[in-house]
């Protein structure tokens, strides 16, 4: 597919508030924005990471997202950090306009990490082009169990617009954001651990 055609296909529609009647459209909009990327990988860079961490796992590492598995009701996007293939973003269409983002974390042997399968459902106030997922009750219980109370207020966001995909984590006192250049696909990385 020509680059111009590919970029036009992933253009996000004009912003539209998500309410009771618009939730299904917002779900369809995100899945439609991601489907043209299926099978492709893209390099990214961290554009926000506050507060800075002395043991930053992303510093100096090559960041690659791979829109690897696309089903009718689920898209899986492994996020590789250097040689670390432990992270996969999982986007599920749950029906009735509900959309969920979860994080699947695995060890090198494919076993589940203790901190895995956290995320949330599409929150109110999201707009087409930017989808926000506040931490759900299941994730908050996991964070409490693992002593990660600071994560209780997590809100993850995905953005898709022509030429750019963004993944963001925000909470009071914390912002992490990585952006990927959709205009320049890269070679697909090896499969994620466990995948």
pLDDT tens across 91-121, in order? Answer: 999 877 789 999 999 999 999 999 999 999 9
Q: How do residues 122-137 score in pLDDT, each as one tens digit?
A: 976 566 689 999 999 9
Pick the closest to residue 166 from 61, 4, 47 (CA basis): 47
**Tens of pLDDT along 39-92?**
999 999 999 999 988 788 898 899 999 999 999 999 999 999 999 999 999 999
Residues 6 or more apart whose CB falls under 8 angstroms from that of 30 comprise 91, 99, 131, 158, 160
The yes-or-no verdict on residue 184 having pLDDT over 90 is yes
Say yes or no to pLDDT of 167 above 60.
yes
């Amino acid at each position: 597919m020509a680059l111009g055609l590919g970029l036009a296909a992933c253009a996000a529609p004009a912003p539209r508030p998500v309410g009771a009647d618009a939730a299904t459209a917002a779900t369809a909009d995100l899945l439609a924005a991601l489907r043209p990327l299926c099978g492709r990988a893209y390099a990214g860079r961290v554009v926000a990471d506050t507060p800075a961490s002395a043991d930053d796992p992303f510093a100096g590492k090559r960041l690659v997202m791979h829109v690897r598995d696309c089903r009718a009701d689920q898209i899986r996007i492994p996020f590789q950090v250097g040689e670390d293939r432990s992270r996969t973003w999982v986007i599920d269409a749950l029906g009735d306009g509900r959309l969920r983002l979860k994080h699947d974390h695995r060890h090198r042997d494919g076993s589940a990490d203790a901190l895995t399968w956290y995320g949330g459902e599409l929150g109110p106030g999201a707009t087409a082009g930017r989808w926000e997922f506040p931490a759900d009750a299941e994730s908050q219980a996991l964070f409490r169990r693992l002593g990660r109370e600071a994560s209780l207020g997590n809100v993850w966001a995905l953005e898709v617009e022509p030429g750019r995909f963004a993944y963001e984590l925000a909470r009071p006192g914390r912002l992490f954001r990585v952006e990927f250049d959709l205009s320049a696909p890269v070679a697909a990385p090896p499969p994620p651990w466990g995948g």
